[in-house]
Amino acid sequence: MMTILHPILFVGAGPGDPELITVKGLKALQMADLVVYAGSLVNPALLDELPQGAEAIDSASLTLEQVMENMIPAVRAGKRVVRLHTGDPGLYGAIQEQMEVLDREQIPYLVIPGVTAAFAAAASLCQELTLPEVSQTLVLTRAAGRTPVPEREQLRRLAANGGTLCLYLSVGLLDRVIPDLLAGGAFTEATPVAVVYRASWPDEVSLLGTLEDIREKVADAGITRQALVLVGEVLNARNRGVSHKSRLYAADFTHGFREGQPE
């Protein structure tokens, strides 16, 4: 009898709150025979969704080879395998290298997206990341750590346009990050910064400051990892009391769904 090969599902677990996984991702967990999950940031409460008898393996201490050695025989035996990644699998998720192995092995796979940490942090702050005439751009990036960043993407270059920046994997590198952000020329020491630790988890912490004082606030709070750094004038809009109304809902603005009225 031919064994049916179920595609491996790369699922975004979301930022932490188990209710922030997608409906599709949740259904995948509820049908899984094997889940290999990134234990450092995936909320273990999600594993309660697995059917009885399903197996869960934490990938935190495994190598790529070991992850694949767990998943491939299971798929070949007809099992439903979920690879559960934090946030969205497409950002700093190391999924490409797994897919390359699966391509070689001719094993099918699909990706189910997730809520990335940047949007969980923005939600925690009740903050719109794009405001008319302040910034219409969001850059998702990181400081170079053990993983290098291509030269043309150095922080000072990305910071030079003054748009909103969101830094993953960088809260422990602020000594280097802050001078780089200032060197771009668009930001100043007064530019607002938010650091959100474990967005959407019960022990979440948000710190608000500026490029001048955020380093000290982060050090005082003892935050060295699992945090996101947001930078840009959008974070100041509320304080300044300036209105940033969008054109979309302006009374005199005509678009496909509404005829504008002259003011």
| CB-CB contact of 201 with 44 (8 Å) | no
Nearest to 173 by CA among 206, 201, 215, 131: 215
Q: Which is nearer to ligand SAH, 21 or 134 (CB)?
A: 21
Q: What is the radius of gyration, based on Cα positions, of the chain?
A: 21
Q: Give min distance, CB of 233 to ligand SAH, in A.
A: 21
CA dihedral 186, 189, 190, 194 (to 10 degrees): 90
- Does residue 152 sit in helix, strand or coil? helix
Q: Please identify, using beta-carbon distances, which residue of 77 and 94 lies nearer to ligand SAH.
A: 94
Residues in touch with ligand SAH (CB under 6 A) = 15-16, 41, 85-88, 91-93, 116-117, 120-121, 168-169, 196, 198-201, 225-228
Minimum CB separation of residue 86 from ligand SAH in Å reads 5
Tally of CB atoms within 10 A around 53: 6
CB of 94 to ligand SAH, least distance (A): 9
* Shortest spacing between CB 128 and ligand SAH, in angstroms: 18
Please count the residues of the chain.
263
- Between 38 and 54, whose beta carbon lies closer to ligand SAH? 38
Strand order in the sheet with 8-12: 55-58, 34-37, 81-85, 8-12, 109-112
- Min dist CB 240 to ligand SAH, Å, is 26
* Single-letter code of the amino acid located at 218: V
Quick one: 11 or 26, whose CB is closer to ligand SAH? Answer: 11
Which C-beta is closer to ligand SAH: that of 41 or that of 134? 41
State the nearest-atom distance from the C-beta of 21 to ligand SAH, in Å. 12
Please say which residue, 67 or 228, places its beta carbon nearer to ligand SAH.
Answer: 228
Which CB, 79 or 198, lies closer to ligand SAH? 198
Least Å from the CB of residue 46 to ligand SAH: 13
Alpha-helical (H) ranges within the chain are 23-30, 64-76, 96-104, 117-124, 155-158, 174-183, 214-221, 237-240
Q: By Cβ distance, which residue is nearest to ligand SAH? A: 87
Residue number with CB closer to ligand SAH (134 or 214): 214
Beta-sheet strands, E only, within 16-58? 34-37, 55-58
Collect all residues with Cβ–Cβ distance below 8 Å to 127 and sequence separation of at least 6: 194, 230, 234, 235
The owner of tokens 């391509």 is: 103
Q: Minimum Å distance from CB 4 to ligand SAH?
A: 30
